[in-house]
Copies of this chain bind each other. A is one copy, B any other.
């Protein structure tokens, strides 16, 4: 079990993903501001992990509040939520996670609940979301496993693994579930420049689980597809629009096009809370531009010549037409996605009420 993040009595403990694979060290965020820093600096990253991190950040902020009246606490909750929401713009799970605790708080406040009781319930919910994340991904994995080949190489991009969630992973969860079900799968992991999540994180966690893994540079995927070496590609998602357009790590769009050109199925694996019904299409998803230094420096050393411009969009949007299926914990979505997503949203809402 990889301890990506964990609630502790002293705060939220994070496996420092910026130090992997060289060092396995932990960073304790002792208050909600430090949780915000940890998300912003990508000590923790991955849609599902930052979703639960956001929830834990809000719960931590509420739990540590010295407010003595509800209006006072309410004002603090607004600041806490805003601070955490401003850390990263693309993954919708972050806003989902924050909203889970904020909505509970609003309900409890409306019921004039005591502050100690509010604190206890918010902390409990954050921990429940953590447990549900792993449980959902195991169900998702079982749905997805059936889509993967019985034998052969599966390509993945970035890290949609245990390190991108509270455990198990979405895309890598599907791969784990397929292997548990007896598929003979090996993984090609795209390096995923510039932050190298594939090289540093996916390779690290798959090797740890004894899953045969080959690291390739991002620009090699097409070559191996042309050689007939790749049987399927599977990635995670940071936000899926109501029409199925999917924002994920930069380079995902290119992988999807290469899959189409080679007749290879391209799967997205993401818990249903990654689907943002309020985002109608990919055009409405904000793309985070990150610091040039992620491209220009390696291990603190500048590797680029002075004077060159740098672009560093952290995500791209893969239009739904390139996606073979979207795998969720409620089942597998297929085109037309607008309809299949709307139908699943109804099922998900009914399950939640039940």
Contact = CB atoms under 8 A, between A and B. Distances in A.
Interface in A175-230: 188-194, 196, 199-200, 203-204, 206-207, 212-224, 226
A74 interface: no
Interface string A280-304: 0000000000000001001101111
Contacts of A295: 191, 215, 217
A193 B218 contact: yes
Interface stretch (A25-33, A78-86, A308-316): A308-316
Nearest to A204: B305
Contacts of A200: 303-305
A200 B21 CA distance: 25
A261 interface: yes
Given A215-B310, A306-B207, A316 B226 contact: yes
Given A200-B303, A304-B21, A316-B222, A309 B214 contact: yes
Contacts of A250: 217, 219-220, 223
A185 to B, nearest CB: 14
B308 A203 contact: yes
20 contacts: A21-B304, A21-B305, A157-B219, A191-B193, A200-B304, A204-B305, A207-B306, A212-B309, A213-B309, A215-B295, A215-B304, A218-B251, A219-B254, A222-B316, A223-B251, A226-B317, A257-B258, A261-B261, A298-B303, A299-B303
Nearest to A313: B223
Interface of A: 20-22, 157, 188-194, 196, 199-200, 203-204, 206-207, 212-224, 226, 250-251, 253-254, 257-258, 260-261, 295, 298-299, 301-313, 316-317
Nearest to A203: B308
A25 to B, nearest CB: 15
Q: Which 3 A-B pairs have the closest CB atoms?
A: A219-B251, A222-B254, A21-B305
A124 to B, nearest CB: 36
Contacts of A216: 311
Contact of A203 (B217, B219, B302, B305): B305
Contacts of A191: 193, 295
Nearest to A309: B214
Nearest to A287: B223
A306 B207 CA distance: 8
B257 A311 contact: no
A20 to B, nearest CB: 8
